[in-house]
């Protein structure tokens, strides 16, 4: 029997089911991507960040990224956003998906994060909604389960304090960790950066 001929418990074919299906029955999140692009800066690890040119978190530093369009996959969206916001085109690989409730003040947002590692920094050129793009050295301090992430670029410093939860295998549990204090790093990107750094 073909798929078109199969009927469910109410006697409907798949075509009839889809015609009656209510897409508004379940809430749906906005889908975004974030790029973690690291490079060896000679005296340590550096990460590419963009300064947000608009709300929310205007003026704070964020991972290059944005919303996935309905006509593209996450990989294409990540490459597009990286190029639009920093002028850089490099290959990245999917790292993980973060879905913490309340992670974006605009509403329910799920993000797939992509990571790339370069032998040295490439000069970025800010574009789209990024007011500035630059490389930051990455450091962190730990005291028990409390971490302080520190990003530095010349005279600019951005930090965040985190309460870090871990999975059974010892990795940072991004969805169950908490940003305690945000000082220049937008959204929950400090948790994402810490996870990525420990994954390298």
Q: Of 89, 132, 161, 198, which residue is the catalytic one?
A: 132
* 132: annotated active-site residue: yes
Backbone angles phi, psi at 197, to 5 degrees: -60, -45
**Residues 6 or more apart in contact with residue 198 via CB below 8 angstroms:** 171, 172
> How far apart are alpha carbons 77 and 81 in whole angstroms?
6
The C-alpha torsion from 59 through 65 and 69 to 75, rounded to 10°, is 180
Determine how many CB atoms are found less than 10 A away from the CB of residue 100.
18
Query: Strands, E, within the chain: which ranges?
Result: 30-40, 45-52, 61-62, 65-67, 93-98, 109-118, 130-143, 146-153, 156-163, 178-183
65 bridge partner residues: 34
Task: Give the three-class secondary structure for 191.
Answer: helix
Please answer whether residues 140 and 194 qualify as being in contact, where contact means their C-beta atoms are separated by less than 8 angstroms: yes
Catalytic residues: 132
């Amino acid at each position: 029997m073909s798929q078109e001929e199969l009927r469910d418990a109410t006697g409907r074919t798949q075509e009839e089911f889809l015609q009656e299906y209510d897409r508004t029955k379940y809430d749906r999140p906005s889908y975004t991507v974030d790029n973690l692009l690291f490079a060896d800066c000679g005296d340590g690890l550096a990460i590419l960040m963009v300064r947000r040119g608009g709300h929310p978190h205007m003026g704070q530093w964020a991972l290059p990224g944005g919303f996935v369009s309905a006509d593209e996959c996450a990989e294409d969206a990540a490459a597009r956003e990286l190029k639009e916001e920093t002028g850089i085109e490099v290959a990245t690989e999917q790292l993980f998906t973060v879905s913490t409730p309340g992670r974006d003040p605009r509403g329910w947002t799920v993000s797939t994060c992509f990571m790339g590692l370069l032998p040295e920094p490439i000069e970025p050129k800010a574009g789209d909604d990024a007011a500035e793009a630059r490389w930051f050295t990455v450091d962190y301090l730990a005291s028990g389960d409390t971490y302080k992430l520190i990003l530095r670029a010349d005279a600019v410093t951005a930090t965040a304090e985190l309460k870090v939860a871990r999975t059974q295998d010892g990795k940072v549990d991004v969805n169950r960790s908490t940003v305690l204090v945000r000082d220049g790093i937008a959204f929950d990107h400090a948790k994402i950066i810490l996870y990525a750094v420990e994954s390298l």
